[in-house]
Amino acid sequence: MKENTIAKQLSLATEKLNEAGIENARLDAEVLLAYVLNTRRLALYVHVAKVLTDEQITRFHNLIKRRLERVPVAYLTGHKEFMGLNFAVTPDVLIPRPDTEVLAQGVIEHLHEFNRENLKLADLGVGSGAICVSILKFVENVTADAVDISKKALEIAEFNAEKFNVDDRMDFYEGNLFEPLEGNIYDVIVSNPPYIAAAEFKNLQVEIETEPHVALHGGADGLKFYRKIIEAAPKFLADDGFLAMEIGFNQSESVQKLINDNGNFKYLQVWKDLAGIERVIAAWKK
């Protein structure tokens, strides 16, 4: 087999990534080569015998080298698909996870239950905008206030809002949680707050080190932001309004307790991800 065909380059790169212990070696190699060739991943299979130019091979090898340094694929290509939409991402934002689609989808379903015309949503820690932008994209009668403590993250969120034509229904605020929203009332408050406990960090994939720590660290027990959000949320929720938050794999019980102890919520729901893990808690205001 020739050294510079698509087939050969893919198998060489896969081998290298595999040797380095990278999980989805073949998939990563395909995504990166498709990126270099500006084509779809599946198109590679139609052209396996195609000979690559030296320039294409050099670019591909450079990307594989960075992947070997554990830079996530999404940061190398600058994109990540979420809810069927291709979001721009940079190392200033957390890479949207498939699990988080449970939050976006669940909120979309429950938004249809309101019988009011114009709904108002707040997203605390908007990051790339994946949650908020996809909700607005799929539900037309919603406007949103997006908050993030990171100015650079807000720039990405705004870019994505423009990309998917929902920027006219979205406002962006730099600040900490509810701080810039004082006095406002929302039908829905969503958040995927930082929730990783300090001691848990060392058990995670090396790649997570390349993501913004401010989006991940949830204090000593991982619950710091849930305490703050649950405490303040009732004041910002409309009657029948609800709060929906992503949670870590072992946090369901603790977060449910925080909500029940608060006393201002009438009931809650737990939404599971595809792996059956309790991934989202939604709580309705009393």
Residue whose CB is less far from ligand GLN, 13 or 190: 190
Residue whose CB is less far from ligand GLN, 29 or 216: 216
Residue whose CB is less far from ligand GLN, 129 or 194: 194
* Tokens 């607005």, residue located: 136
CB 76 within 8 A of CB 29: no
Instruction: Examine residue 102 and tell whether it contacts ligand GLN (CB under 6 A).
Output: no
* Tokens 């091979």, residue located: 57
Euclidean distance between CA atoms 80 and 76, whole angstroms:
10
Q: CB under 6 A: which stretch of 57-65, 145-153, 159-167, 188-196 binds ligand GLN? A: 188-196
Instruction: Examine residue 97 and tell whether it contacts ligand GLN (CB under 6 A).
Output: yes
**Per CB under 6 A, which of residues 144..163 are in contact with ligand GLN?**
none
CA angle 177, 183, 243 (to 5 degrees): 50
Amino acid at 76: L
Q: CB under 6 A: which stretch of 53-61, 67-75, 102-110, 190-198 binds ligand GLN? A: 190-198
Report how many residues bind ligand GLN under the rule CB under 6 A. 8
Q: Compute the least distance from the CB of residue 279 to ligand GLN, in Å.
A: 9
Euclidean distance between CA atoms 120 and 237, whole angstroms:
10
Residue whose CB is less far from ligand GLN, 10 or 280: 280
In terms of C-beta distances under 8 Å and separation of at least 24 residues, what long-range contacts does 275-279 make, across chains too? 275/99, 277/99, 277/249, 278/247, 278/249, 278/252, 279/99, 279/102, 279/103, 279/246, 279/247, 279/249
CB 197 within 8 A of CB 255: no
CB 106 within 8 A of CB 173: no
Candidates 102, 133, 216, 245; binder of ligand GLN (CB under 6 A) is 216
Instruction: Examine residue 96 and tell whether it contacts ligand GLN (CB under 6 A).
Output: no
Q: Compute the least distance from the CB of residue 70 to ligand GLN, in Å.
A: 14
Candidates 25, 136, 190, 196; binder of ligand GLN (CB under 6 A) is 196
Residue whose CB is less far from ligand GLN, 34 or 208: 208
The contact mask relative to ligand GLN for 1-40 (x = CB under 6 A, - = no) is: ----------------------------------------
By C-alpha distance, which of 63, 99, 61, 68 is closest to 78?
Answer: 63
Instruction: Examine residue 194 and tell whether it contacts ligand GLN (CB under 6 A).
Output: yes
Residue whose CB is less far from ligand GLN, 82 or 195: 195
Instruction: Examine residue 192 and tell whether it contacts ligand GLN (CB under 6 A).
Output: yes
By C-alpha distance, which of 243, 193, 191, 251 is closest to 221?
Answer: 251
Binding site for ligand GLN (CB under 6 A): 97, 192-196, 208, 216
